[in-house]
Amino acid sequence: MDLKPSHASPILNDPVPANKSRLGIHSSLLACSQQDSPLSPGKYPKSNSKKSMGGLDDVRSNGMLDAMKASSPPRKKSILKGSSAQVASFDYDIEDYNLWMQGYPSALEAFEEIIDCAKDKKIAMFLDYDGTLSPIVEDPDCAFMSEPMRKTVRRVAKYFPTAIISGRSRDKVFDLVKLTELYYAGSHGMDIIGPGSDTMSINHPNCVKSTDHQGKEITLFQPAREFLPMIDEVFKTLIDITKDIEGAKVENHKFCASVHYRNVEENKWTLIGQRVHDMLKNYPRLRSTHGRKVLEIRPVIDWNKGKAVEFLLESLGLTDRNDVLPIYIGDDKTDEDAFKALRESNLGYGILVSSVGKESNAFYSLRDTNEVMKFLQLLVNWKREQERKHGKE
Ligand X SMILES: O=P(O)(O)OC[C@H]1O[C@H](O[C@H]2O[C@H](CO)[C@@H](O)[C@H](O)[C@H]2O)[C@H](O)[C@@H](O)[C@@H]1O
d(CA 55, CA 68): 16
Pattern of binders to ligand X over 227-256, x per CB under 6 A? ------------------------x-x---
**Residue of the chain from 121, 154, 262, 268 that contacts ligand X (CB under 6 A):** 262
Stretch that binds ligand X, among 3-11, 18-26, 257-265, 310-318 (CB under 6 A): 257-265
**Residue of the chain from 238, 294, 297, 308 that contacts ligand X (CB under 6 A):** 294
Stretch that binds ligand X, among 85-93, 275-283, 293-301, 347-355 (CB under 6 A): 293-301
Stretch that binds ligand X, among 20-28, 144-152, 235-243, 287-295 (CB under 6 A): 287-295
Which one, 143 or 157, has the nearer CB to ligand X?
A: 143
Site for ligand X in 328-387 (CB under 6 A): 332, 334
Q: What's the min distance (Å) between Cβ of 49 and ligand X? A: 18
Binding of ligand X by 296 (CB under 6 A): yes
Q: How is the beta sheet containing 286-291 ordered, strand by strand? A: 249-252, 257-260, 294-299, 286-291
Binding of ligand X by 293 (CB under 6 A): yes
Which one, 150 or 262, has the nearer CB to ligand X?
A: 262
Largest CA distance in the chain: 69
Size of the site for ligand X (CB under 6 A): 24
Q: What's the min distance (Å) between Cβ of 201 and ligand X? A: 27
Q: What's the min distance (Å) between Cβ of 60 and ligand X? A: 22
- Dihedral sign for Cα 243, 249, 253, 257, please: negative
Site for ligand X in 155-194 (CB under 6 A): 166-168
Q: Tell me how far CA of residue 54 lies from CA of 45, 61, 114, 264, 272, in angstroms.
A: 20, 7, 47, 23, 18
Which one, 144 or 204, has the nearer CB to ligand X?
A: 144
Q: What's the min distance (Å) between Cβ of 385 and ligand X? A: 31
Site for ligand X in 120-159 (CB under 6 A): 128-131, 136-138, 140, 143
Q: Which residues bind ligand X (CB under 6 A)?
A: 128-131, 136-138, 140, 143, 166-168, 251, 253, 258, 260, 262, 291-294, 296, 332, 334
